[in-house]
């Protein structure tokens, strides 16, 4: 198993640099269920952030990207169950990264995650700080 950095995932998804895209493609296409790639939650969140902020990807594109990673038999996603639950929540107006943060906390045994972000506070497992202080 080999780990995949954010820049490899983003380059593979966007094909933004032809030389690096060819390398990313070669690396990822060599992966198999017996010799998979590993995607940490950090790389997953960073990839979503980069796609949204730098490439101006919309919610549907982000959901498609994350869904493809989660459904790949050639990848192992760290805490995949929390990522799947987070992806399910993003079907509304919730950001994947906020939903993943909340789901990871719930999986770790947290009652909830406190936030100052009003939009994020609507995510299952998140609460607005002003309501709990």
pLDDT, tens digit only, all 133 positions of the chain: 999 999 999 999 999 999 999 999 999 999 999 999 999 999 999 999 999 999 999 988 999 999 999 999 999 999 999 999 999 888 666 789 999 999 999 999 999 999 999 988 988 899 999 998 7
Strand, coil or helix: 52: helix
Two structure tokens written together for 20:
């690096």
d(CA 34, CA 28): 13
Two structure tokens written together for 121:
């506070």
Spell out the domain ranges in the chain.
Answer: 1-78, 92-133
pTM of the model: 0.88
Strand, coil or helix: 127: strand
H or E segment to which residue 2 belongs: strand 2-3
Q: What pLDDT, on the 0 to 100 scale, is given for residue 91?
A: 66
């Amino acid at each position: 198993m080999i780990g995949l950095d954010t820049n490899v995932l983003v380059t593979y998804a966007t094909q933004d640099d032809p030389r690096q895209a060819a390398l990313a493609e070669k690396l990822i296409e060599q992966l198999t269920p017996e010799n998979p790639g590993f995607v940490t939650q950090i790389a997953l969140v960073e990839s979503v952030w980069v796609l949204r902020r730098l490439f101006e990807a919309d919610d549907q594109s982000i959901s498609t990207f994350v869904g493809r990673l989660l459904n790949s038999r050639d990848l192992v996603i760290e805490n995949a169950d929390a990522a799947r639950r987070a992806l399910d929540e993003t079907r509304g107006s919730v950001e994947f990264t906020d939903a993943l943060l909340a789901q990871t906390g719930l999986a770790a045994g947290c009652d909830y995650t406190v936030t100052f972000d009003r939009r994020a506070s609507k995510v299952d497992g998140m609460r607005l700080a002003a309501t709990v202080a």
